[in-house]
A and B are shown apart, each in its own frame.
Chain A
Amino acid sequence: MENRKTIRKFFCVWSFEKEEDWLNEMAMNGWVLESVGFCSYHFVRCEPGEYAVRLEMHPYDESYVQFMQETGAEYVGRMIAWVYFRKKTADGPFDLFSDIDSRIRHLDRIGKMLAVIGGANLLIGLLNSFNPSRIGWINLLAATALAYALGRIHGKKEALEKERLLHE
């Protein structure tokens, strides 16, 4: 029986919770994330339910990874600005965020990154639209997609802010 497998899969940036759910479903079925690549996930066999997997957008920060390891989590890898951790379920529950404020700050980090990349694409697209080859439309398309993603992230944030009026 194979002990390792790779699955190619694409998730939209606002579906990071779905991505996490899928990774945990894989772990429940005996496949835990071992490393990540661009739109590809590498799994290794584990006991069903042996691990919980979490992901988050976080700028590269060695001391954060070290901090997570101190709490018993294992660093799986990173892809673009996303970082992946896993923890044995026997070592206790595993969550990255325990209050609304830190969830909102996380969405802010995602939003900021989308705005920067989207803005850059818009600029390049506009500059290139004067270019006779009309290649700028690719960047303008990318900027439109990123603006849409930003809207989705903002919607999530608004829902949390409403919740925070009543709770922490």
Chain B
Amino acid sequence: MPDTLALTEATYYILLSLYAPRHGYGIMQQTEEMSGGRVRLAAGTLYGALNTLCDKGWIIQLPVDDGSRRKEYRLTEKGKGILKNEVKRLRELARNGEKILGEDM
């Protein structure tokens, strides 16, 4: 799959949450907070997405500290690039929508 395809909402918010290192539950909380409670990631969906994103090299799993079993993840440079392109794409979508709907909005 080319890396230029649109991201899903879940992928977008996971990447955005991982601008700072976070563990799984932290990503769920951050996503819910950023979207004002609209987007809720379910644990199974998130787990699958984290594995896929690691395989793609968009995020990495940080070394686990002794004493804590929680795995933490962070965005990579590649992931940051993907995210920046997505923001540009979303801006275009919103701009066109507003232009055409105009006062209807």
A residues apposed to B, CB below 8 Å? 56, 58, 63-64, 66-68, 70-73, 93, 95-99, 101-102, 105-106, 168
Contact = CB atoms under 8 A, between A and B. Distances in A.
Nearest to A68: B43
Given A64-B47, A168-B8, 6 more contacts: A67-B43, A68-B43, A98-B10, A99-B9, A99-B45, A101-B8
B105 interface: no
Interface in B8-55: 8-10, 23-25, 28, 40-49
Given A70-B23, A70-B25, A96 B8 contact: no
A67 B24 contact: yes
B25 A56 contact: no
Contact of A102 (B9, B23, B44): B44
A67 B48 CA distance: 11
A61 B47 CA distance: 11
B10 A99 contact: yes
Interface residues of B, number: 20
A74 B42 CA distance: 15
Contacts of A93: 40
Contact of B24 (A71, A95, A96): A71
6 contacts: A56-B44, A63-B71, A70-B23, A95-B44, A98-B46, A101-B8
Contacts of B71: 63, 67
B45 A66 contact: no
Contacts of A73: 43
B10 A70 contact: no
Nearest to A64: B47
